[in-house]
Structure 1
Amino acid sequence: MQNPYRHFATFKHTNKQIMQYWKKLSSAEQDKRITKALEQNVNYSLGISLGVPASTLDDKVFYDKASFLKDAPLLRTYVHNPNHIGCHTLGESEPFFKGTQEIEREVIELLSVDMLCAQEESCDGYIAAGGTEANLQAIWVYRNYFQKEFKASAESIALLASEDTHYSIAKASNVFGIDFFPVKVAFDSRKILKEEVDKIVATAIEKGKKYFIIIANMATTMFGSVDDLSVYTDAMEKFAAPFKLHVDGAFGGFIYPVSDPGNSLSFANTQVSSITLDAHKMLQAPYGTGVFLIRKGLMQYVYTQEAQYVNGMDITLSGSRSGANAIAVWMILQTYGYYDWQEKIETLLKRTDWCCNALRERGVRYFRHPKMNIIAIRATDIEKTIAEKYFLVPDTHHDNPNWYKIVVMDHVGIEQLKSFIMDLK
């Protein structure tokens, strides 16, 4: 049995100024790299890939001779239709798509090391179908980990997260048969209440829970609030409870590490075992593009031994998945490079600052984490017609909402925000 207390370690972080992998590449350089990758993938036109249950997109529907494809490497990738089943950062993978798999490995290493402060080659991961899948993947891994290493039953494992946590955690509770214990937060500050964590953990233990899977938020979906890990880890130490800690950065993962590089929700913190990112939000990748990152030595707990016909076997919830989504993430990251991405985030935060100042001048109450681009406005301080006019999202569609949120993204400029402010009474 492994030592259940080995997680407790001092967090250290050094803000790296030199990016190991996150470089800015021109369109021509990207095209050359992707073209080479596609050439290394299976070529169906040769007619010798008789056993591969795949092909290019149907050319009767998706015309693959269009002239514009030569200048559109992502669209060419979609036409080539690479299947990235499995996890390509460990073991073997299907050799038919080795070229584009290598680009996916580059994405995982770039995000782990340059964005989230991991040591080189210390993480596994894959491009998932979204943040929901990535969160479920983490809980699947840790359920199996506790079952194998501690002979735990599902009934003895608890999910622990704040009440502001994404609904995917409740979904995981249902899928994996693990009880979910949500923790109350303060209404105005959205901070997790330490006394509530202690109370919830004590209640869970009374109900027979011995092992904990903790979900910490790197920006909640509704509020952009960021969790303090110590309220969880202090409780685990107090009750001497073995745990695994997963960071849900589905919204904040491409913002918060840049806006607050000294934060504790990264792989520099040895208590963090895995992180979810969501490229189809702030990164503006195609929908269905999440990222799952996890320390090496853990992903193997979910090997699907029955997938013998898959080289390397499957190890992901989604199974077959589009390699084109990995290419899309790689292209966006290489188009910006770290410093242009940093400048973009700073611009969005300044727009958010402007809006918050304008709301404050009008006496409108709101919550906003200073390093995030979400503003949650008290529903009582804004007319419903205004909220609907500007497509503000409520915290509930079924009852009277308590909050409406604004998300300051690329398309939300000062002019749009000024129009909204002018409409407020």
Structure 2
Amino acid sequence: MAKKHLNDNIMYWERYSHDKIKDIVHQALEQNTPYRDSAPVLGIPASYLDRTEFYDDAPFLKDAPFMKTMIENPNHIGCHTLDDAGHIDMFAGTQQIEKELIQLIAEQIFKGEPNQQDGYVATGGTEANIQAMWVYRNYFKKKYQAKTEEIGLVYSEDSHYSMPKGANLLELSSIILQVDEHTRAIRQQSLIEKITEARAQGIKYFIVVMNLSTTMYGSVDDVERVTDFFEKEKLPYKVHADGAFGGFIYPFTNEKDPLYSFQNPRISSFTIDGHKMLQTPYGTGLFLIRKGFIQYVKTEEAQYIPGKDYTICGSRSGANAISIWMLLRAHGSEGLKIKMQRINERTTKLCKRLDELGVKYFRNPHINIIAIKSGQFSARFAQKYHLVADSYEFDVKWWKIVVMDHVKQGILDKFLLDLDANLNTEPTH
């Protein structure tokens, strides 16, 4: 496990060479029980990938640990950070890598205390967000004997659609907060009015989702101001931070901010997606939560699973956890910091040029998303560069640019030249 470096608040983990990464993954696979004739695996309803197409003797596999793990197909069902829970020991080798991965992210990137966080690799941010809602709903029901109809889910109108989806699945009342049109900040008056209204309707307990970068705007919610309100009102609440997009860039571009970390006692859990900024495959969401909470969703009925299950998805590929761990180790903390800071600097450079052109936009300075006000160029121009609209059902108010790793300076220069020639010169529809 990566150790704290010099100062407990400094993020650090070692960079590994490809050969070292390969050796560690191969050793983990050897610790797993293989689905082969030599191993009498009779009771597991799974196997290696079908060799008709996914043959395991391809020469390149010896240098491709992720692909090799996919073919061997380990199951990472359960939550492997729980010390008191049993696990399917057939896959102990790769499950240990997932455990170390969760520790690394929770303790190094999100500044958690050693061995004080649980978590798992989820299918994506949607699952991780709903997992948090499920945990806190059950927490309020079991600790406070709350009725489901007494629990509200609080989130801004800019939040991801997984919030209303989760509220629908878990039968929670949505409390949607308005944001300022220009700053995308949660309006304090809306917070006061909406919570007052919810309390009048019988809502007593609150699951609060704070955005560590909204999907459309890259805005970061003011977690201190919002939680100050709940503290002042002495309302029972739990905070989940949705860092599906921002979780793998914000901690590197705003290192001194302790608010979106486990150093903030008001935040109990995080969602982070690997498949966005970390560029891992889809299916690499992450759910992190303080110890003592995930037990509220233990599925006792999973009697045939050693240690039971605590996750929404159940069975899941161990290869996804391996892919995240591989990339974190391939870069190391310093390499990943440099990568994210360069992307952020490229975004800042683009914003400076937009300022020179008089383009109206919103951007959080630590996030690589730019939301440009509509009406400044045509929809045809936006479609040429695959800009994303805030709505495909109603009138477009914003167009989004995301400066990802593949968005190089040459592409941005071409876009800016084209934009300069098209600003307010064409119909906006």
- Residue 27 (1) aligns with residue 10 (2): no
Q: CA, structure 1 residues 163+122, in 2 after alignment: closer, same or farther (shift >3 Å)?
A: same
- 1:171 alignment partner, one of 150, 165, 178: 165
Deviations 1:372-420 (A, max 9, x none): 1000000111221110000000000111110000000111011111111
In the other structure, the counterpart of 2:3 is none
In the other structure, the counterpart of 1:265 is 260
- 1:119 alignment partner, one of 113, 116, 120: 113
In the other structure, the counterpart of 2:139 is 145
Deviations 1:182-235 (A, max 9, x none): 101111111111121111110110010000000000000000000111232122
- Residue 277 (1) aligns with residue 268 (2): no
Deviations 1:224-253 (A, max 9, x none): 000111232122123221000000000000
Deviations 1:302-341 (A, max 9, x none): 0011100001111100000000000000000000001111
Deviation at 1:150, TM superposition (A): 0.3
Deviations 1:91-122 (A, max 9, x none): 21111100000000010000000000100000
Does structure 2 retain, via aligned residues, the 8 Å contact 1:123–1:293? yes
| Distance (Å, rounded) in 2 between the aligned partners of 1:310 and 1:422 | 59
- Residue 240 (1) aligns with residue 234 (2): yes
SS of the residue aligned with 1:224? coil
Deviations 1:267-326 (A, max 9, x none): 000111000000011011001110000000000000011100001111100000000000
- Residue 327 (1) aligns with residue 322 (2): yes
- Residues 14-163 of structure 1 mapped to structure 2, 5 A cutoff: 16-17=9-10, 19=12, 22-45=13-36, 46-90=38-82, 91-163=85-157
Deviations 1:250-269 (A, max 9, x none): 00000111111222011000
> What TM-score, normalized to structure 2?
0.94
| Distance (Å, rounded) in 2 between the aligned partners of 1:208 and 1:109 | 39
Deviation at 1:362, TM superposition (A): 1.1
In the other structure, the counterpart of 1:11 is none
Question: Which sits farther off after the overlay, 297-306 or 60-69?
Answer: 60-69
Question: Which sits farther off after the overlay, 330-339 or 376-385?
Answer: 376-385
- Residue 390 (1) aligns with residue 381 (2): no
| Distance (Å, rounded) in 2 between the aligned partners of 1:147 and 1:16 | 35
Deviations 1:38-66 (A, max 9, x none): 00111221141111111110112211111
In the other structure, the counterpart of 2:215 is 221
Q: 5+ unaligned residues in a row in structure 1: which ranges?
A: 1-13
In the other structure, the counterpart of 1:203 is 197
Does structure 1 retain, via aligned residues, the 8 Å contact 2:11–2:109? no
| Distance (Å, rounded) in 2 between the aligned partners of 1:354 and 1:411 | 16
Counterpart code for 2:200: E
SS of the residue aligned with 2:87? coil
Does structure 2 retain, via aligned residues, the 8 Å contact 1:57–1:79? yes
In the other structure, the counterpart of 2:331 is 336
SS of the residue aligned with 1:127? strand
| Distance (Å, rounded) in 2 between the aligned partners of 1:413 and 1:59 | 39
| Superposed CA RMSD | 1.0
Counterpart code for 2:198: A
| Distance (Å, rounded) in 1 between the aligned partners of 2:376 and 2:189 | 30
| Distance (Å, rounded) in 2 between the aligned partners of 1:44 and 1:395 | 47
Does structure 2 retain, via aligned residues, the 8 Å contact 1:134–1:290? yes
Does structure 2 retain, via aligned residues, the 8 Å contact 1:103–1:330? yes
Q: Percent identity?
A: 48
SS of the residue aligned with 1:88? coil
| Distance (Å, rounded) in 2 between the aligned partners of 1:179 and 1:381 | 38
Does structure 2 retain, via aligned residues, the 8 Å contact 1:201–1:235? no
**Runs of 4+, deviation exceeding 6 Å:** none
Query: What is the total number of aligned residue pairs between the two structures?
Result: 410
SS of the residue aligned with 2:372? strand
SS of the residue aligned with 2:271? strand
Deviations 1:152-199 (A, max 9, x none): 011000000111111100101100000111101111111111121111
| Distance (Å, rounded) in 2 between the aligned partners of 1:15 and 1:109 | 14
| Distance (Å, rounded) in 1 between the aligned partners of 2:219 and 2:377 | 21
Counterpart code for 1:70: K
SS of the residue aligned with 1:381? coil
Deviation at 1:15, TM superposition (A): 7.4
| Distance (Å, rounded) in 2 between the aligned partners of 1:407 and 1:261 | 21
| Distance (Å, rounded) in 1 between the aligned partners of 2:404 and 2:137 | 36
Does structure 2 retain, via aligned residues, the 8 Å contact 1:112–1:118? yes
Counterpart code for 1:30: I
Q: CA, structure 1 residues 15+252, in 2 after alignment: closer, same or farther (shift >3 Å)?
A: farther
Counterpart code for 2:367: M
SS of the residue aligned with 1:201? helix
In the other structure, the counterpart of 2:425 is none
Deviation at 1:358, TM superposition (A): 1.2
Counterpart code for 2:17: S
Q: CA, structure 1 residues 378+18, in 2 after alignment: closer, same or farther (shift >3 Å)?
A: closer
| Distance (Å, rounded) in 2 between the aligned partners of 1:270 and 1:65 | 50
Does structure 2 retain, via aligned residues, the 8 Å contact 1:15–1:261? no
Deviation at 1:71, TM superposition (A): 1.0
